Each structure stands twice: as C-alpha cells, then as structure tokens.
Structure 1
Amino acid sequence: MRRKKKEKRELVLDAIYDSSLISKLTNHLMFSGKKSTAQKIIWGALEEIKKVKKTESPVEVLESAIKNVTPMVEIRPRRIGGATYQVPREVQPDRGFSLASRWLISAARAKKGKPMAKKLAEEILLATKNEGA
C-alpha cells in the first residue's frame, strides 16, 4: 500500500469544447490509443445533439445525461468473519462518472446498423430523458 496518496495527473482539455468532461469521455471511448478517431466520434455525436436540441448547448446535454446515468449507491462485498456480505456504499464522484460513461458507451456499442457517432448521440439523448438501456 502507498504511504502517500498519488496525485492525479492534470487532464488536457478538449480542443473544440474546452471541457474536461469531453476529454475524459474521449479517453473512455478510445481503442488502441486511437484518440483522433475517438475525438471524431464524440464531436460527431455532439453535432448530432446540437441538431436535435437547438436551444441547449451539447455539453450541457451531455452533463445532464451523465448526471442521470450516474449511480448514487453501489453494493460492495465486505468480509465479516467467515461470511461475505453485500454492503451498500455511496459511490465516489470519480467512480460514478466512470461507471456512467462506461454504461453510455457500451449501450451505444451494442446498437447495430448506424455510425458510432449517431448511436452515441441517441444514447445521450435517451439518458437526458431518463430512458434507454
């Protein structure tokens, strides 16, 4: 176990939207270090959102979708004596974002027949309405 808590690295903000949320989502979406491909997908999804929701900023729509998908409580195994119990615990904000983005991306990947940007935009829009997978 570490003696001191490791400092978090500073994240480079997104080039177009200047948002740390989008750069984190880009990193979650990325396969095999292909960041430019992941950025194109996310920027395309945000453009699709901009077409549908003309009054709201696409970053605000994404934030509300992440907020709706983020869990408040999760169960964690806790060993007491010889038995292992499932104990509910509050989710830390970083873990909540990580789970929410992972769920959004996996739901978009599960859909078939459309480009990834469109699938991701659909999942984000459904998440803002508290619907979807």
Structure 2
Amino acid sequence: MRQRRKKEKVYMPDPLFNDPLVTRFVNNLMKNGKKNVAYRIFYGAMERIDIIKKEEEKSSLDIWKHGLKNVMPHVEVKSRRMGGSNIQIPVPISSKNKVTKAMKLLIKCASLRKENTMEKKLALEIWDAYNEQGETIKRKENIHKMAEANKAFSHFRF
C-alpha cells in the first residue's frame, strides 16, 4: 500500500455518561462549533427519553445505543461508470462507517421532524428508532432495498 493508514481518532468521553460514543454523536450534532449547545440538546433528549419510557428497565443511554444499532445500515450502493452508464454497486460498510452513517441519519431525520425544539425532535426520533419505526428506519430499509435491487452488479466491487 502506498498510502499511509489514517490514525484512528480518539474521542474523549463526555462529562455526564463518560462514553466516547456520546462525544462522537455530539460532534455530529454540533453546528458552527457550539459544542455546549449540542451537549445541552443531547442531554435534554436523554431526559425526555427518561420521561417517555414508562415500563422500560433500560436507561436512556441504553435506549439510544439500541436505537443507533437499529438504524445502522449494513450495505450501501456506490456509483461506478461502466460502458457509458453509471451502475450502482452494493458494497458492505465497515463497522466505523456504520456507526457514523447511523448517527448522521438519526440527526438528519430528527431535524426534519415537525416538533418545536431539537431536543424533543431528537428524543422522539431516538424513541422511534428504538421501537424500529419512523423515518430513520424507513431510510435504512430504503438503502438496503437499493442494494438488494442491484445485487446483480455485486461482482463489480471496487
């Protein structure tokens, strides 16, 4: 290999849950470098999840992690130019990219919801992802359907 391997980025654990995955999520949630606002939104969403869950024995962090796991796509399609046309080739996703795609998908679908505040939007989207319903699950299934439809081109992998 001619290129050097990228150094794996190490994330510091967040102050409340002491989890580096939360810091990674907050970094994706952050806009214009306002990390305190992003933390406030995330922690507010976790408090709302505590209110929403009634008989659930899991903590809000476990619900968030389970929802994130439900949203993770396993394959994606990449375009490749073949003989004058672009074909979609299904490619498996690495474990790091799965987490990143799931986080970005969850944040994007939460921001498109119709509720008042971002923390309420995020809490309801996480709850829907935990229960395997909502926009994020639809989008994940749509990604999988695209890969399934183009399975015939899977031997053209990069």
Q: How far 1:81 moved relative to its partner?
A: 5.0
Identify which range, 76-85 or 11-20, moves more after superposition: 76-85
Instruction: Give the Cα separation in 2 of the matches to 1:84 and 1:111.
Output: 33
Residue correspondence of structure 1 range 12-23 to structure 2 within 5 A: 12-23=12-23
1-side partners of 2:30 and 2:102: how far apart? Answer: 16
Of residues 57, 60, 64, the one that matches 1:58 is 60
Task: Tell whether 2:105 aligns with 1:121.
Answer: no
Alpha-carbon separation, structure 1, partners of 2:22 and 2:37: 14
The residue number in structure 2 matching 1:27 is 27
Q: Confirm or deny: 8 A CA contact 2:115 2:121 kept in the other structure.
A: no
Aligned residues: 133
AA paired with 2:42?
I
Q: Distance in 2 between matches of 1:17 and 1:86?
A: 40
Structure 1: unaligned runs, 5 residues or longer = none
Give me the identity figure in percent. 34
Unmatched segments (≥5 aa) in structure 2: 136-158
Q: For residues 55-85 of structure 1, what are the alpha-carbon distances to aligned partners after superposition, in whole Å with 9 as ceiling and x for unaligned?
A: 2111111111111111111111233455432
- Measured in 1, the distance between the counterparts of 2:50 and 2:61 equals 9
Question: Partner residue of 2:105?
Answer: 103
Partner of 2:95: 93
Equivalents in 2 of 1:19, 1:30: separation in Å? 17
Aligned counterpart, 1:71: 73
Distance 2:21 2:80 in 1: 32
- The residue aligned with 2:38 is 38
What is the TM-score normalised by the length of structure 1?
0.91
Query: Residue type of the partner of 2:121?
Result: K
